[in-house]
Chains A and B, each alone.
Chain A
């Protein structure tokens, strides 16, 4: 298993982001096929057959999610594309929005049809000025070419796509918080159930899907769901985008078949570690995922194998840390992010992330005590599973793995009793 470009096939072609270029590459054939010859149930069946799982991080089966929308609801339904990409390490959705926006629009359209929605939103993080401009232009082109709007392709089906821009809040990548934000409220997560598929935006059935997930959908319609199962492992089907960052010779976004090894991604595609340094740790799926160690490099990149190795595939943001990296410093960098991004609704997350930041900061300042390590672990376990949304877990999990797998680093740092400067790596 190796590199396989399905989503990134045309992203280097500057014409592909325009409707003509996209159509020349076979774009919108899936949407035509859906509107001319398929029922919503048939679309859902294909997506279910493909085994496609949500690419935002949770890995929930997409077809199954779509089937949760109640068929007998008198309310309008909404499809929402989650383009609030903001987990440290993750920069894959940005590429799709910037270089292949029509595949996202086509995926949104097919998803909307599958759940009977006539209004779809793309919630893009507000900092993405350029991707927003590219996507809005693409939507305009799609309307002009008749792929969106009233009575599309003469099928009688109407669909509007609206771009909504966020306000700079990581929490809004969580679906219930995103829907609150889209409704004009503060982006605070809500208890589930009710799940958005039953009661989401404006209290109406709503499906929220990640950008990458939706970009896969046209391929499933064109080639059939079964075709997609040729790629990947038994339980993790298809290809997946990985954002490679940190201490790596060729950082960037790569698309590989699920089940490709971490070693292949880092050594073959990423070109290994600069200056022949050794790897100290790897965060395989974004800042919320537990650390992996260099002895685990042969782990296949699929949901199950990475979970077995004690971490998570997450969004596929692979961050590589070389031997120079201090793990206490890394832990500080991770936890201060979650402290900043906690919406403050649940006490364990709001207070816990603050306490953790203070404790790790104290160790970095040479004022830590050995009992702090157990305190950190204890606070983490009091956040875990005790919050409404996964942000609390996301904050706790990497920290737990840091003190478990790199306990000695914490002990050494505490014993050293000197200040570790924040400026760890040169800027030339």
Chain B
């Protein structure tokens, strides 16, 4: 839900947040759509700082990673100090801090997936893509990483690629997926 339908209750002792009067923010990296999405989200909260995670999320979804320049742009939009945005961003693993391949492959290797062959899935992907865990292919198409439990335990082994879950994986399934992504480029 973008905007609250009812008035936010003020909190005694804290400044009351009002909707920003559509400030004209100039951004180089973030698109007008991203800026608008963040502005919509930030007025949902009685305390502005709650917009930290939502704005980081919008930015990383658009750009694929976060860096100092992006924190600065987010800060201009949300009026949250850039260092507070960076402080939070560096705590959470969801936000890559440097560019990665077009397809970020995250393989869960926790216990439930490991019992169903996740470690050999990793080796299979390494072999297929010609990279090790943590690396990106030379054509910048694929980055391979290990993820901690993604709650796909009953459909193991599984992986998340960008925003999609792929579950109950087999070699044949992985082959078809990779082939499809290579074709799309």
Contacts and interface: CB of A to CB of B under 8 A. Distances in A.
Interface residues of A, number: 79
Interface in B139-172: 147-157, 160, 163-165, 169-171
Contact of B94 (A91, A126, A319, A333): A126
Interface in A33-76: 74-76
B10 to A, nearest CB: 8
A128 B112 CA distance: 18
Nearest to B94: A168
B145 to A, nearest CB: 12
User: Which among B10, B80, B153 has the highest number of chain A CB atoms within 10 Å?
Assistant: B153
B111 interface: yes
A252 B155 CA distance: 7
A31 to B, nearest CB: 16
Given A127-B160, A245-B112, A424-B114, A150 B49 contact: no
A76 B153 contact: no
Contact of B11 (A204, A321, A340): A204
Contacts of B109: 333
Interface stretch (A8-16, A179-187, A358-366): A179-187
A164 B10 CA distance: 20
Taking each of A140, A188, A425, which has the highest tally of chain B beta carbons within 10 Å of its own beta carbon? A425
A126 B60 CA distance: 12
B118 A76 contact: no
B94 A166 contact: yes
Interface residues on B, range: 35 or more
B153 A127 contact: no
Given A167-B94, A246-B115, A91 B52 contact: no
Contact of A253 (B117, B118, B154, B157): B154
A129 B53 contact: no
Contacts of B117: 425-428
B46 A202 contact: yes
B54 A161 contact: no
B32 to A, nearest CB: 21
B148 A341 contact: yes
Given A130-B165, A159-B6, A245-B153, A119 B91 contact: no
A214 to B, nearest CB: 17
A428 B119 contact: no
Nearest to A334: B111
Please list the 3 inter-chain residue pairs (A to B) with the smallest Cβ-Cβ separation, ordered nearest first: A167-B92, A168-B94, A184-B49
13 contacts: A89-B149, A94-B151, A118-B6, A139-B1, A160-B1, A170-B149, A186-B88, A188-B91, A245-B112, A283-B111, A287-B149, A333-B114, A424-B114
